[in-house]
């Protein structure tokens, strides 16, 4: 698993993908930060991550769309399917590499906390709670995006499946209030308020675990067919 993670992490850092993700996310985050401070006079670091969740919906698929789709299209998927490594180590290794890129991005957002600290007194506890919730949300996005990449050979299709599904989940509570339990963004809502509840943490991890498992099943079935 660690060998796969290092390989994937290296590919993110030696290609434009990792830098494109980090750059676009921080650029858009900076725009929302400027608007929040100068237009709304808000000094709340944690509220910026509501906007961060919006950015994530469109940017996270950049990290996941090529995980398996590109290898399937170029034919290098055969190397994965015939590898002596277990499917679990391959899938988790790829997910961990993308997770590290996201974690690096989150750490870099702390510069905005430092800026706000110079002019106000934002709560570090609430900020860390928000970052924890945002990482769980990001992990759910990555897990689903990885699954989407495993069922197609087109990176573009994988991108739109991932972004489309999460956009739909955004609007589920508006369609019917009973569907709020299926909206990840609604579950994330408590973290910027400084609340960590077991139900939200378990739901995020269960969602991620489900699509990690489904990705393994898809690849295992393809391996058996080959």
* Dist CA 7 CA 224 (whole Å): 25
Write down the pLDDT at residue 141.
Answer: 95
Q: How far apart are CA 74 and CA 50, in angstroms?
A: 37
Q: What is the pLDDT of residue 130?
A: 94
CA proximity to 95, closest of 186, 214, 224: 214
Given the structure tokens 């750490």, which residue do they identify?
107
Q: Which stretches in the chain have pLDDT values below 70?
A: 75-82, 176-181, 225-226
Structure-block tokens of residue 211:
């699509």
Q: Note the pLDDT tens digit of each residue in 78-129.
A: 666 667 778 888 899 999 999 999 999 999 999 999 988 887 778 889 999 9
Q: For residues 25 and 78, what is the distance between their CA atoms, to the nearest angstrom?
A: 33
Distances 8 to 11, 70, 78, 209 between C-alpha atoms, Å: 5, 13, 17, 20
195 φ, ψ to 5°?
-110, 130
Query: Which pair of tokens denotes residue 8?
Result: 């994937």
What does the pLDDT read at residue 207?
94
Query: What tens digit of pLDDT does each residue of 149-162 get?
Result: 999 889 999 999 99
> Whole-model pTM?
0.89
CA nearest 63: which of 6, 21, 15, 93?
21
- What pLDDT does 131 receive? 94
């Amino acid at each position: 698993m660690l060998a796969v993670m290092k390989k994937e992490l290296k590919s993110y850092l030696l290609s434009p993908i990792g830098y494109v993700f980090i750059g676009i996310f921080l650029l858009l985050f900076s725009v929302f930060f400027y608007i929040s401070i100068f237009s709304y006079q808000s000094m709340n670091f944690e509220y910026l991550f509501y906007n961060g969740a919006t950015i994530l919906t469109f940017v996270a698929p950049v990290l996941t769309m090529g995980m398996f789709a590109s290898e399937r299209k170029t034919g290098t998927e055969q190397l994965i399917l015939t590898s002596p490594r277990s499917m679990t180590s391959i899938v988790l290794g790829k997910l961990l590499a993308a997770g590290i890129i996201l974690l690096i991005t989150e750490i870099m957002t702390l510069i905005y906390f430092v800026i706000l600290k110079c002019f106000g007194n934002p709560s570090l506890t609430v900020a860390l709670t928000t970052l924890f919730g945002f990482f769980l949300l990001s992990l759910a996005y990555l897990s689903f995006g990885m699954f989407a990449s495993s069922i197609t050979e087109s990176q573009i299709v994988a991108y739109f499946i991932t972004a489309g599904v999460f956009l739909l989940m955004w609007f589920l509570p508006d369609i019917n209030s009973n569907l709020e339990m299926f909206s990840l963004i609604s579950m994330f809502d408590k973290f910027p308020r400084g609340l960590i509840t077991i139900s939200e943490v378990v739901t995020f991890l269960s969602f991620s675990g489900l699509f990690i498992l489904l990705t393994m099943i898809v690849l295992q079935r393809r391996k058996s067919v080959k």
